[in-house]
Structure 1
Amino acid sequence: MVDWLNYHHLMYFWMVAKEGGITPAAELLHLSQPTLSTQIQKLEKSMGVKLFERKGRAMLLTDSGQMVFRYADEIFGLGNELADAIRGRPTENSIRLLVGVPDVLPKLVTYRILKPVLALDERVKLVCTEGKLKDLLADLAMHRLDVVLADSPLTPELNVRAFNHLLGQCDVTVFGTAAMAKKYAKGFPKSLDGAPMLLPTQNTTLRRSLEQWFDDQDIRPEVAHEFEDSAVLKVFGQAGEGMIFVPTAVANDVASHYSLKQVGRIPEIIERFYAISVERRLKHPAVVAISQSARDNLFTDGS
């Protein structure tokens, strides 16, 4: 039982958790590694719990460590606000949501998933980091992110201690310019054989699903261009360079933003979207809002 909390020890723990290990934290704090390790051990002894567990060279937070880290983050965040207030600087009475967004995730899907946090009673400051899924998951494991959005679940081979939370699923809609829709809607999907298409790159879940569907339908498309960035792909689609494939959950947004027309819908391809967190049960109020709204609104009927 903790009778009195040593905030110096708590700050040392917080720095180690943020930096992902004793070595980088010791450098920032200008302390020796043995000294820092001793302070962490004293905190663990005073609390009666283990805060870290070693896995190879990595130091991973235990369940208790995760809880203590979140409290420490709020404590030292308030400390910074107090310092700003004393100096007469404006402070932000808000909670932060640190989100990892894979570069292959459609931007409109990302926006629609995150939009509900903007309507919460408590102000939320979004901090979005874009990158490769593997790198984002590494940051999540080090508690540099609260949640990672993804279009595929976390798999055991990635060796990250985290949990998948399915936000929802929908099928896929094909879009093109008005001229393309007029030409290829009739006889869909066989009309797509030989048709110009703009496809996501090979490292995406959607591309793999599309190639399987093309094969099942005996369709040989003309792959005009390939894009990793979904927003750039849509701009080329708007310019008439080829047809595009988008999650039906954002079909209306795509139609209005890019002045495109629906060519057809592919119920055989199902796109799934996940929130990946280190928590088995979601606790961050903004992440809970994202999950609830996605299930209740965004992915209710896939349209």
Structure 2
Amino acid sequence: MSSLNYHHLRYFHAVAHDGNLTRTAERLNLSQSALSTQIRKLEERLGHRLFDRRGRQLVLTEAGRIALDHADEIFAAGDELVDTLKAAGRARRALRVGAMATLSRNFTLGFLRPLLGRADVEIVLRSGSPAELMQGLATLNLDVALLNRAAAEDAVTPFVSHRLDDQPVSLVGTPARLAGERDPAALLAREPVILPTAESPVRTGFDALCDRLGIRPQISAEVDDMAMMRLMARADAGLAVLPSIVVTDELSTGVLKEAQTLAGITESFHAVTLERRFPNPLLPELIRLAARPRAG
């Protein structure tokens, strides 16, 4: 059996991302017929048609989508190999970090703090949804993703979840709203609350706690962004259900106060990586410094 021709795969990869044969041919300085021949040879090798034509656009078939997923990984791995081995002779290294858009900025900053200001390190920080971050890891566009939950088990993609911390969650509000009261049950019975949305593990724990206490809280807002919850608490829209790390500055200056922690509710923080042949050498020490020892 003949091996796969990676020149054919490279041409397919380019056309698949452009979606237009003419544009790709011009960009690669090839004739359309030559490019079409390369695609056809790949289709013959794989035994499947990779594109359907719709007007002037080329649309991937199911086989084409599968081929593109593999091509993305193949060429990303090749780029990573070149970058990694070239980096051995350079003084400056890059770390590509993805952080869940709704995650605490203070936690993200704390995770990166050991590298901040280092002349030999460049940090590339991107935010996104968990699905976007996991895709970034899978395609080798990210070295690590910061999430509030462990990665889902996946027999195909070898994700590794490093549990860094579990932060207790409490009711946070202005001094006037707390009025010296620290008991969560008493506060929940009388004050409106700013809650994370239903998808959050913290919200699941909060709903269970209210059920146990027999309290139906008055919901002021449901928010999927910790930074916005912090701002709403500062604006005195209600008591926010947050880990204290989100409002570190406000607590230190007295702008906000914290009641007793909510029993059994924590916000977890995870660094998720992908098993790689050439892992970023900056990561092991960074994860070790960020991980807090846990009892037991």
Fold agreement, TM-score > 0.5: yes
* Alpha-carbon separation, structure 1, partners of 2:160 and 2:248: 31
How far 1:163 moved relative to its partner?
A: 1.6
What SS does structure 2 have at the residue aligned with 1:108? helix
Question: Is residue 205 from structure 1 mapped to residue 201 from structure 2 by the alignment?
Answer: yes
Question: Is residue 292 from structure 1 mapped to residue 283 from structure 2 by the alignment?
Answer: no
How far 1:239 moved relative to its partner?
A: 1.6
One-letter code aligned to 2:261: R
1:271 pairs with 257, 267, 274, which one?
Answer: 267
Structure 2, unmatched stretches of 5+, are 43-63
How far 1:248 moved relative to its partner?
A: 4.0
- TM-score, structure 1 as length reference: 0.68
Report if the CA contact (8 A) 2:106-2:245 is conserved.
no
1:95 pairs with 79, 84, 93, which one?
Answer: 93
State how many pairs are aligned.
Answer: 254
What is the percentage of aligned positions where both structures have the same residue? 23
Where does 1:5-44 land on structure 2 (aligned, <5 Å)?
23-24=16-17, 27=24, 32=35, 34=38
What SS does structure 2 have at the residue aligned with 1:145? coil
- TM-score, structure 2 as length reference: 0.69
Report if the CA contact (8 A) 2:227-2:246 is conserved.
no
How far 1:249 moved relative to its partner?
A: 4.7
Question: Is residue 71 from structure 1 mapped to residue 81 from structure 2 by the alignment?
Answer: yes
1:118 pairs with 111, 116, 119, which one?
Answer: 116
Structure 1, unmatched stretches of 5+, are 1-8, 39-53, 82-92
2:142 pairs with 141, 145, 148, which one?
Answer: 145
Q: 1:56 to 1:134 in 2, by over 3 A?
A: same
How far 1:274 moved relative to its partner?
A: 0.9
How far 1:199 moved relative to its partner?
A: 1.2
Report if the CA contact (8 A) 1:149-1:273 is conserved.
yes
Report if the CA contact (8 A) 1:176-1:238 is conserved.
yes
One-letter code aligned to 1:150: L
What SS does structure 2 have at the residue aligned with 1:189? helix
Q: 1:160 to 1:301 in 2, by over 3 A?
A: closer
- In our comparison, the structure showing a higher alpha carbon Rg is 2
* Alpha-carbon separation, structure 2, partners of 1:76 and 1:253: 41
Question: Is residue 196 from structure 1 mapped to residue 192 from structure 2 by the alignment?
Answer: yes
2:159 pairs with 133, 158, 162, which one?
Answer: 162
